[in-house]
């Protein structure tokens, strides 16, 4: 019972939040052209997908062995992971503020979908990066080590 609550309840909660923000965001976009709620939906979807990717995609054996081979490698990985976290969080914040400013300035419909979809797509992609940062950091740290950059 505890396993069910710890695994199903969080997924159901995040999916409900995504569905609500998506439905409300579409309604807001159709009525007034505001897109910030769609940005929330994109971010929630990206965070959920990134978490699933981080949990279910394994590292290549060579990278996994490298990470587990010593404290120095682990500390290097930690430095890269923290740098990626701050980078992804900064980009997500910047994009969210851009969407909010767009709504506040009243520039609702003129930009159109051609300018809206890249912003929402970038929010989605960088939100994936936030929650999948440990795998990305391991790959990046390994490549930096091989290139003598770390």
Residue by residue, DSSP assigns 58-108 as PPPHHHHHHHTT-HHHHHHHHHHHHHHHHHHHHHHHHHHHHHHHHHHTT--
Domain ranges of the chain: 2-146
Cβ atoms of 29 and 38 closer than 8 Å:
yes
Task: Tell me the C-alpha distance between 123 and 117, whole Å.
Answer: 10
Q: Are 74 and 67 in contact (CB under 8 A)?
A: yes
d(CA 140, CA 80): 8
What's the pLDDT tens digit per position in 103-129? 888 755 555 666 788 889 999 999 999
Is 66:146 a contact under the CB 8 Å cutoff?
no
Structure tokens at 123: 């929010």
pLDDT of residue 91: 95
Per-residue pLDDT tens over the stretch 46-74 = 999 998 889 888 999 999 898 888 788 88
Instruction: Give the residue-averaged pLDDT of 70-96.
Output: 91
Mean pLDDT of the chain: 86
- Indicate the pTM of the whole model: 0.81
């Amino acid at each position: 019972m505890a396993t069910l609550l710890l695994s199903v309840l969080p997924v159901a909660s995040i999916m409900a939040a995504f569905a609500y923000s998506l439905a409300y965001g579409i309604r807001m976009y159709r009525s007034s052209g505001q897109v910030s709620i769609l940005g929330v939906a994109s971010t929630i979807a990206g965070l959920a997908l990134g978490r699933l990717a981080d949990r279910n995609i394994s590292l290549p054996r060579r990278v996994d062995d490298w990470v587990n081979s010593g404290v120095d490698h682990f500390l290097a990985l930690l430095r890269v992971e923290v740098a990626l976290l701050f980078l992804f969080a900064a980009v997500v914040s910047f994009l969210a503020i851009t969407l909010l400013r767009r709504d506040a300035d009243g520039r609702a419909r003129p930009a159109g979908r051609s300018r809206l979809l890249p912003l929402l797509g970038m929010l989605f992609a960088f939100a994936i990066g936030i929650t999948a940062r440990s795998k990305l950091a391991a790959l990046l740290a390994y490549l930096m080590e091989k290139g003598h950059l770390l």
